[in-house]
Amino acid sequence: MDDLILRTIEGLKRRGFEAVGVATKAEALKIVMNEAEGAQSVGWGGSESLKEIGARDALAKSGKEIRDHQTEMDLFLLSANAITSDGVIVNIDGTGNRVAASIYGPKRVVYVIGRNKVVNGGLLEAIARAKRCACPPNCRRLAKKTPCAETGICADCDSPDRICKVTAFFDQPPRHTPTKVILVDEDLGY
């Protein structure tokens, strides 16, 4: 497993997160399904990474009630826009519902994060990564009329469609929300 991934797992554990590294999407899916085994309701944080590992289809097939962006649920699944190699998780939202659900409400939160989201620098580099690599393609995917959707570059815009309104970073898991990170040694999402 890549050294950057191993260091990130150590950083997460030091901060009190549960953390596990896997080599493939298939292994990540297996862990997600184990996590969901006892859950009736599963929150869905609008994640391309989770779609790419096949989690949405597998959860639906196993009869789970999938709730999009709600806060009361047994398990909330999501990815991150970036993570530092010492384990700080960064997410940027327009509405804030994904971030809100990852802080308080669900009984348990599980992230699936691909290696492409890990940055070797600190928090500012993680935020920069989110603005550079995640927000522009998300704006295009969601058909938002923002400068980055056209140019691929953040202009710190005042567009009504701006999706970067709330930036949350997690030094440690929130007090009442047990949080696990599945770090995958493959690229996932953006």
Using the rule CB under 6 A, is 128 a contact of ligand SF4?
no
Per CB under 6 A, the segment of 16-24, 74-82, 104-112, 142-150 that binds ligand SF4 is 142-150
Min dist. Cβ of residue 130 to ligand SF4 (A): 8
Using the rule CB under 6 A, is 3 a contact of ligand SF4?
no
Which DSSP state fits 142? Answer: T
Which DSSP state fits 15? Answer: T
- Backbone angle region of 81, left / alpha / beta, with phi > 0 → left and psi within -120 to 50 → alpha: alpha
Using the rule CB under 6 A, is 160 a contact of ligand SF4?
no
Closest CA to 113 of 7, 25, 3: 25
Q: Which of 131, 179, 180, 188 binds ligand SF4 (CB under 6 A)?
A: 131
CB-wise, 26 or 155, nearer to ligand SF4? 155
Cβ proximity of 87 and 11 under 8 Å = yes
CB-wise, 64 or 98, nearer to ligand SF4? 98
Distance (Å, rounded) from C-alpha 184 to C-alpha 155? Answer: 31
Using the rule CB under 6 A, is 126 a contact of ligand SF4?
no
Q: Which of 25, 98, 117, 162 binds ligand SF4 (CB under 6 A)?
A: 162
Cα 9 to chain centroid distance, Å, stands at 15
| Other Cβ atoms closer than 10 A to 177 | 17
Using the rule CB under 6 A, is 148 a contact of ligand SF4?
yes
Q: Which of 91, 146, 179, 181 binds ligand SF4 (CB under 6 A)?
A: 146
Nearby residues of 13 by Cβ (< 8 Å), 6 or more positions away: 19, 87
Using the rule CB under 6 A, is 155 a contact of ligand SF4?
yes
The footprint of ligand SF4 (CB under 6 A) covers 131, 135, 139, 146-148, 154-157, 159, 162-164
